[in-house]
């Protein structure tokens, strides 16, 4: 198996190092990641300047671009072979609920959505994130990803990926298939004055999870619920954001008025 690994925390992030080490027994692992942290870039592609992939070690490349750039380049000419699987992560922080709209980790996985196997976005969720500094901090999560792939990945429709969030707990209780939860509105921005007297702003923190049970899913919980209770959350998400439940009604209204 040829496995492509990308992330949004940067080529030297401990999460991507741990993941690469854990997956090497499964085949050839190629790491292509941003040269520096590119969190929050979603599926953005760089169109206003050239990209320069630099090989810094065998099967390890740094790119002056976004997470999605890394996967796009890898699948469209950077290498003379094809990949069987794309794994993005391990992200230093959760990507739950509405986070997937902004996440560079998820954006990189979506660039790999046409793989023969499902593309996977993997994040470490817990109270200590952003303080992890070594690959050992991600070892349990990385081993879980290895075992998940070995046991056989779920079959998904085209243009779908798996969004995986692994709680930072002493012992994982198992894994749950979950739906994408929802957050409250983000915290307000904070305003400051820099040393030169200019007004600057920091984007506010993410909002808290909302209890949002889905009709018809009586036995399935949200990604927030699974992680909060010590389970790995595995959520199938898709590129097609069309709301088919209201599509026909809207079509009828427009036809009537048009």
Confidence of residue 214 (pLDDT cuts 50, 70, 90): confident
Which letter, b or e, does each residue of 175-208 get, where b requires 16 or more Cβ atoms within 10 Å of its Cβ? ebebbbbebeeeeeeeeeeeeeeeeeeeeeebee
CA dist 23 and 135 (Å) reads 13
Is 95 labeled as ligand-binding?
Answer: no
> Residue 115: what pLDDT?
83
Task: Indicate the pTM of the whole model.
Answer: 0.91
| Closest of 63, 133, 141, 64 to residue 95, by C-alpha | 141
Q: How many angstroms separate the Cα of 38 from the Cα of each of 64, 146, 175?
A: 10, 25, 28
Alpha helices in 103-138 (DSSP H): 104-111
Q: Which residues contact 187 (CB under 8 A, 6 or more apart)?
A: 204, 205, 206, 207
**What mean pLDDT do residues 101-116 have?**
93
**What mean pLDDT do residues 116-122 have?**
92
Is 39 labeled as ligand-binding?
Answer: yes
Percent of the chain with pLDDT over 90: 76
Segment 122-137, tens digit of pLDDT: 999 987 656 678 999 9
**What mean pLDDT do residues 102-129 have?**
90
Which superfamily is assigned to 2-181+212-257 in CATH? Survival protein SurE-like phosphatase/nucleotidase (3.40.1210.10)
> Residue 170: what pLDDT?
82
CA dist 89 and 164 (Å) reads 10
CA dist 63 and 70 (Å) reads 7
> Residue 52: what pLDDT?
97
Q: How many angstroms separate the Cα of 158 from the Cα of each of 32, 33, 162, 184, 236?
A: 24, 24, 12, 31, 11
Is 9 labeled as ligand-binding?
Answer: yes
> Residue 66: what pLDDT?
98
> Residue 128: what pLDDT?
62
Report domain extents, the chain. Answer: 2-181+212-257
Q: Name the 3-class secondary structure at 140.
A: helix
Q: Name the 3-class secondary structure at 211.
A: coil
> Residue 25: what pLDDT?
98
Instruction: Indicate whether 211 pLDDT > 80.
Output: no
Instruction: Indicate whether 210 pLDDT > 80.
Output: no
Say which residue the tokens 């915290």 belong to.
187
Question: Exposed, middle or buried, 222 (CB in 10 Å: 0-12/13-18/19+)?
Answer: buried
Segment 165-204, tens digit of pLDDT: 999 988 999 999 999 998 777 678 889 999 999 999 887 6
Is 99 labeled as ligand-binding?
Answer: no
> Residue 6: what pLDDT?
98
Pairing of strands 232-238, 160-167: antiparallel
Segment 37-58, tens digit of pLDDT: 999 999 999 999 999 999 999 9
CA dist 128 and 112 (Å) reads 29
> Residue 28: what pLDDT?
98
């Amino acid at each position: 198996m040829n496995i492509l690994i990308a992330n949004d925390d940067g080529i030297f992030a401990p999460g991507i190092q741990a993941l690469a080490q854990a997956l090497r027994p499964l085949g050839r692992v190629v790491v292509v990641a941003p040269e520096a942290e590119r969190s929050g870039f979603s599926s953005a592609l760089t169109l206003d300047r050239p990209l320069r992939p630099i090989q810094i070690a065998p099967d390890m490349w740094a790119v002056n671009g976004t997470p999605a750039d890394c996967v796009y380049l890898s699948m469209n000419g950077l290498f003379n072979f094809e990949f069987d699987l794309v794994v993005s992560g391990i992200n230093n922080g959760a990507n739950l609920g509405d986070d997937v709209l902004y996440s560079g980790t998820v954006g990189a996985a979506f660039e790999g959505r046409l793989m023969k196997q499902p593309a996977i976005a993997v994040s470490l969720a817990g109270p200590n994130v952003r303080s992890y500094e070594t690959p050992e901090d991600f070892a349990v999560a990385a081993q879980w990803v290895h075992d998940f792939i070995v046991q056989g990945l779920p079959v998904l429709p085209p243009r779908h990926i798996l969004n995986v969030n692994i709680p930072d707990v002493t012992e994982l209780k198992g894994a749950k298939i979950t739906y994408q939860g929802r957050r409250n509105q983000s915290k307000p921005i904070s305003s400051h004055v820099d040393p030169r007297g200019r007004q600057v702003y920091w984007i506010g923190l993410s909002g808290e999870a909302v209890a949002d049970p889905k009709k018809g899913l009586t036995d399935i919980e949200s990604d927030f619920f699974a992680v909060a209770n010590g389970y790995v959350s595995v959520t199938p998400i898709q590129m097609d954001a069309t709301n088919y439940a209201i599509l026909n009604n809207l079509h009828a209204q427009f036809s009537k008025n048009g």
